[in-house]
């Protein structure tokens, strides 16, 4: 096994086990927590940010704290979701309770920061703690279907598919002045709720409230939030020719590249180890397994956040940080009182 002489705490991946390789200097794993050192060493680097997805690196942080942010994003950052459904009429083939559950899982655009939590389930709905919607639709025969001479369901019937776009917002009190219809309804207008046939009808009122993922998964603001350690690959012996191409195939695409030397040799070099999956395929070859050292940096986390759409990924992370701060402040206040 090759030791890594740097200042990064890491684990080295061997064929059948992992070996911890702490540097001689102090790290986040060995030193007592110091806020000044933490501010000096901690960094966040945004790698990419798309509409509902963000990838960023958290560098110089202990695993317990990284996992704390992940748990907070999943369970404590609130959103708005449909909680109660008043069904006046439902003659579709979907049972009332299944339909209500399906409606509750439709993500809403409403910004939860503009609303308050309900103190109890019996608290009255107000403009500050809830949103009201209506779903009223009836399937009927399309009388013009004979003219088209078509057997397609879409031509034969009207409103045969019930989509999330059919959910209409009913503003209460001053909500119409303070909120816009485009910022309140379902994230996607084409979420299929049910299929109907002539004679089927739905008439119901929907009430959305503010909640957290720890109460129900429908309130979680993320489709997923996960992290992994940064992979690191070092080639410690020169690999050339046919062996270089074999080495390249042992890793994920783009990790190893082949470099043409002026002498005409083709040697394997590390291009980008970031997206390697650490498959350890290199240990299948006796002539290659001692040429490479694979490791993971223990204080370098690659975070990925996929939002369901109510909040942007960066906002979700900031809210998680704010919630952790408030929890710490509350704990300190309790300790001081005691």
pLDDT (average), residues 246-263: 93
279 lies in a domain?
no
**Which pLDDT tens digit goes with each residue over 161-175?**
999 999 999 999 889
Residues 72 and 180 occupy one common structural domain: no
pLDDT at 189 over 70: yes
Q: Which residues contact 70 (CB under 8 A, 6 or more apart)?
A: 225, 226, 227, 303
* Mean pLDDT of the region 259-278: 92
pLDDT value at 209 more than 60: yes
For residue 4, the model assigns a pLDDT of 60
Write out the E strands in the chain: 10-13, 18-21, 43-49, 53-59, 79-90, 130-138, 140-141, 157-158, 161-163, 167-169, 192-195, 201-211, 222-235, 256-260, 266-270, 292-307
pLDDT band at 146 (very low <50, low <70, confident <90, very high): low
Position 256 in a domain: no
Asked whether residue 232 falls in the same domain as residue 299, the answer is yes
Same domain, 46 and 172: no
Is there a single domain that holds both residue 103 and residue 63? no
Tokens of 114: 């503009």
- Inside any domain, residue 260: no
Query: pLDDT by residue (tens digit) across 14-71?
Result: 999 999 887 766 777 777 777 788 888 899 999 999 989 999 999 999 899 999 999 9
pLDDT, mean of residues 238-267: 93
Q: Are 108 and 150 part of one and the same domain? A: yes
Kindly state whether residues 50 and 93 are assigned to the same domain: no
Whether 185 is covered by a domain: the verdict is yes
Residue whose token pair is 């083939």:
93
The per-residue pLDDT of the chain, averaged, comes to: 91
| Residue 61 and residue 90 share a domain | no
Domain assignment of residue 320, yes or no: no
Total number of domains constituting the chain: 2
pLDDT tens per residue across span 290-334: 999 999 999 999 999 999 999 999 999 999 999 999 999 999 999
Q: Could you tell me which residues are beta bridge partners of residue 266? A: 260
CA dist 333 and 148 (Å) reads 73
Yes or no: say if 233 and 296 are a contact pair by the CB < 8 Å rule: no
Angle, CA of 247, 252 and 255, to the nearest 5°:
70
Boundary residue ending a domain (219, 251, 273): 219
The pLDDT of 252-270, averaged and rounded, is 93
Q: Are residues 214 and 230 in the same domain?
A: no
Asked whether residue 124 falls in the same domain as residue 214, the answer is yes
Residue 310 in domain? no
Same domain, 185 and 62: no
**Whole-number percent of the chain with pLDDT over 90:** 75
CATH of the domain at 172: 2.170.120.12
Are residue 85 and residue 64 in the same domain, yes or no? no
Q: What is the DSSP string of 222-236?
A: EEEEEEEEEEEEEE-
Residue 32 lies in a domain: yes
- Domain coverage including residue 187: 79-219
- Tell me what pLDDT residue 205 has: 97
Specify the DSSP class assigned to residue 319. Answer: H
Structural domain includes residue 325: no
Residue 2 has pLDDT above 70, yes or no: no
61 and 167 share one domain: no
CATH code assigned at 30: 3.30.1360.10
In the prediction, which pLDDT does 338 show?
Answer: 67
HSE at residue 25, side-chain half, CA atoms within 13 A, is: 8
Pairing of strands 266-270, 161-163: unpaired
Rounded to whole angstroms, how far apart are CA atoms 29 and 224? 27
């Amino acid at each position: 096994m090759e030791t890594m002489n740097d200042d990064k705490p890491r684990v080295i991946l061997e064929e059948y086990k992992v070996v911890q390789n702490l540097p001689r200097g102090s790290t986040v794993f060995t030193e007592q927590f110091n806020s000044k050192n933490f501010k000096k060493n901690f960094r966040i680097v945004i790698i990419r940010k798309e509409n509902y997805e963000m990838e960023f690196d958290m560098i110089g942080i202990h695993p317990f704290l990284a996992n704390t942010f992940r748990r907070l994003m999943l369970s404590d950052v609130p959103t708005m979701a449909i909680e109660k459904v008043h069904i006046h009429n439902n003659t579709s083939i979907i049972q009332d309770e299944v339909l209500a559950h399906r409606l509750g899982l439709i993500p809403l655009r409403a910004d939860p920061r503009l609303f308050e939590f309900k103190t109890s389930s019996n608290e009255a709905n107000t403009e500050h703690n809830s949103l009201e919607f209506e779903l009223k639709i009836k399937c009927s025969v399309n009388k013009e279907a004979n003219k088209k001479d078509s057997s397609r369901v879409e031509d034969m019937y009207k409103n045969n598919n019930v989509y999330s776009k059919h959910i209409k917002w009913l503003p209460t009190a001053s909500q119409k002045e303070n909120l816009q219809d485009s910022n309140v309804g379902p994230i996607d207008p084409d979420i299929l709720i049910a299929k109907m046939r002539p004679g089927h009808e739905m008439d119901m009122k929907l009430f959305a409230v503010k909640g957290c993922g720890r109460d129900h998964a429908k309130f979680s603001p993320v489709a997923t939030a996960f992290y992994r350690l940064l992979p690191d690959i070092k080639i410690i012996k020169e690999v050339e020719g046919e062996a270089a191409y074999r080495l390249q195939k042992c890793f994920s695409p783009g990790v190893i590249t082949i470099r043409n030397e002026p002498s005409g040799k083709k040697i394997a070099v590390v291009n980008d180890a970031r997206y390697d999956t650490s498959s350890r395929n290199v240990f299948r070859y006796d002539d290659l397994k001692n040429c490479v050292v694979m490791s993971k940096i223990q204080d370098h986390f690659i975070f990925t956040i996929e939002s369901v759409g109510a909040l942007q990924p960066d906002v979700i992370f900031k809210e998680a940080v704010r919630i952790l701060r408030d929890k710490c402040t509350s704990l300190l206040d309790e300790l001081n009182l005691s």
